[in-house]
């Protein structure tokens, strides 16, 4: 299921640039210009590796260590996952607007600072709370939980800004419009992402078993502090090496068929009205844009895949740990799924070249159905045996 999901993700996130068709073109020759672009992209891979590693460590550790504070209930971990996802939904459009309205380097630096500073202080709070756990009252524990939840929401928004900036903006500019380079950059970025998904949770699981959870929180805090400086330096080097990053594309014309003013009946959201009213007006416009987008019908069933509980994230990790599953095995399960998913970054180009984009998408969707159906039936018919 992880393999098929990543196949579809890679295809939906690697659409041709605006103005090009989806037809297959012969691969570009490996020119000196292409090699130079790929060399610049390596610095971008390194920068993203540090960001993704810290993000994956934090997401796994936050859910697991909340159960150290409240071992008898899944409510704190569930609240953390809910609030983190809600912050991404609520501020996703604002993040996109901020990226579009500002220069690339300040945007990426603010995302780096927001993510790492938040993780640094939250990890220190985690370490202190776990180390002094026996002295905390229930009210004090819940205060820590809510501070962690707020930190998770801030880190989520900053992480979203970093990912969107790198994947949808910096990578495109670094590739310079060369389709073969763009394909390789997209695939390599996915590999970096999957490697971090494999190794970072596994590192947290092993570390918490060897040097205890409180010390693991300190390790995460030190990583965040060091990672911030490294990411700053690498992003600066990429920015200096690629002149196109200093040039922002022109904004969408106000009379565009998909512009907010056209979709909102000719009236754009008020700029100087009540901020709350302006926010909800903006969200209404975004929903209309999404509704009219050609990818709407395809994206809905794909999004429903995330309703599945067969993913080792958030609530399921908390539930398994409450059943007594060790951190190492939780991390191992996530690592195994991510390791299998890395295969999608190698399989997508070959499948699309042989079968075409549409057939590849349909076949992988059916692959997901075949993977999920036996597990779904097992949950139904074997539930009684598990309870026993």
Q: What string of DSSP letters covers 25-66?
A: -PPPP--HHHHHHHHHHHHHHHHHHHHHHHHHHHHHHHHHHH
Residue pair 331/201 in contact (Cβ under 8 Å)? The answer is yes
Same-domain status, 321 and 209: no
Query: Considering the entire predicted model, what is its pTM?
Result: 0.72
Residue pair 364/7 in contact (Cβ under 8 Å)? The answer is yes
* Domain boundary residue, one of 203, 223, 250: 250
- Burial state string for 128-143 with b = 16 or more CB within 10 A and e = fewer than 16: ebbeeeeebeeeebee
Same-domain status, 150 and 227: yes
Does 187 map to a domain? yes
Distance between CA atoms of residues 38 and 326, nearest Å: 41
Distance between CA atoms of residues 253 and 255, nearest Å: 5
* Domain boundary residue, one of 250, 277, 294: 250
How many C-beta neighbours within 10 Å does residue 230 have?
Answer: 16
Same-domain status, 215 and 321: no
Does 372 map to a domain? yes
Does 277 map to a domain? no
Does 288 map to a domain? no
* Domain boundary residue, one of 204, 219, 250: 250
Structure tokens at 302: 């794909």
Domain that holds residue 187: 1-7+35-250
Structure tokens at 51: 């960001």
Question: Count of domains in the chain?
Answer: 2
Distance between CA atoms of residues 105 and 237, nearest Å: 11
Residue pair 105/111 in contact (Cβ under 8 Å)? The answer is no
Does 266 map to a domain? no
Does 238 map to a domain? yes
Same-domain status, 39 and 139: yes
Does 258 map to a domain? no
Residue pair 209/326 in contact (Cβ under 8 Å)? The answer is yes
Same-domain status, 370 and 233: no
Does 152 map to a domain? yes
Same-domain status, 206 and 354: no
Same-domain status, 151 and 228: yes
CATH for 94:
1.20.1250.20
- What stretch of H or E contains 209? helix 179-210
Same-domain status, 331 and 234: no
Same-domain status, 78 and 171: yes
Walk along the chain (388 residues) and give the pLDDT tens digit of each residue: 444 444 444 444 444 444 444 444 444 445 666 666 777 788 889 999 999 999 989 988 888 888 888 887 878 888 888 898 888 888 888 888 888 888 989 999 999 999 999 999 999 998 988 888 778 888 888 998 999 999 999 999 999 999 999 888 888 888 887 777 787 888 888 888 888 887 888 888 888 888 888 899 999 999 999 999 999 999 999 898 888 888 877 665 544 444 444 444 444 444 455 777 877 787 788 788 888 888 888 778 777 766 655 566 666 777 777 777 777 777 777 777 777 777 776 787 788 888 887 888 788 878 877 877 887 777 677 655 544 4
Same-domain status, 352 and 229: no
How many C-beta neighbours within 10 Å does residue 254 have?
Answer: 10
């Amino acid at each position: 299921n992880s393999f098929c999901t990543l196949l579809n993700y890679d295809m939906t996130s690697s659409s041709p640039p605006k103005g090009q068709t989806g037809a297959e073109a012969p691969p570009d020759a490996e020119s000196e210009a292409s090699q130079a672009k790929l060399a610049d992209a390596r610095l971008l891979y390194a920068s993203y590796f540090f960001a993704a590693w810290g993000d994956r460590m934090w997401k796994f550790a936050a859910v697991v260590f909340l159960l150290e504070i409240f071992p008898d209930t899944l409510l704190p971990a569930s609240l953390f996952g809910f609030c983190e996802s809600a912050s991404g939904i609520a501020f996703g459009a604002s993040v996109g607007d901020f990226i579009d309205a500002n220069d690339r380097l300040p945007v990426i630096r603010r995302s780096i600072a927001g993510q790492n500073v938040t993780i640094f202080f939250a990890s220190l709070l985690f370490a202190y709370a776990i180390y002094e756990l026996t002295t905390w009252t229930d009210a004090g524990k819940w205060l820590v939980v809510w501070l962690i939840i707020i930190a998770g929401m801030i880190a989520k928004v900053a992480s979203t800004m970093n990912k969107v900036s790198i994947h949808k903006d910096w990578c495109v500019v670094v590739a310079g419009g060369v389709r073969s380079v763009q394909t390789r950059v997209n695939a390599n970025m996915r590999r970096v992402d999957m490697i971090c998904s494999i190794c970072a949770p596994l590192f947290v699981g092993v570390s918490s078993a060897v040097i205890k959870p409180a010390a693991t929180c300190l390790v995460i805090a030190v990583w965040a502090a060091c990672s911030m400086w490294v990411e700053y330096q690498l992003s600066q080097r990429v920015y200096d090496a690629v002149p196109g990053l200093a040039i922002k594309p022109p904004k969408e014309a106000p009379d565009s068929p998909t512009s907010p003013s056209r979709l909102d009946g000719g009236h754009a959201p008020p700029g100087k009205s009540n901020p709350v009213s302006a926010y909800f007006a903006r969200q209404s416009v975004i929903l209309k844009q999404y509704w009219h987008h050609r990818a709407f019908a395809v994206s809905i069933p794909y999004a429903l895949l995330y309703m599945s509980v067969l993913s080792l994230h958030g609530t399921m990790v908390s539930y398994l740990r409450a059943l007594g599953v060790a951190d190492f095995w939780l991390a191992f399960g996530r690592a195994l799924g991510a390791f299998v998913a890395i295969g999608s970054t190698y399989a997508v180009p070959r499948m699309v070249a042989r079968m075409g984009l549409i057939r590849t998408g349909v076949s992988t969707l059916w692959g997901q159905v075949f993977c999920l159906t036996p597990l779904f039936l097992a949950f139904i018919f074997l539930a009684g045996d598990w309870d026993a």
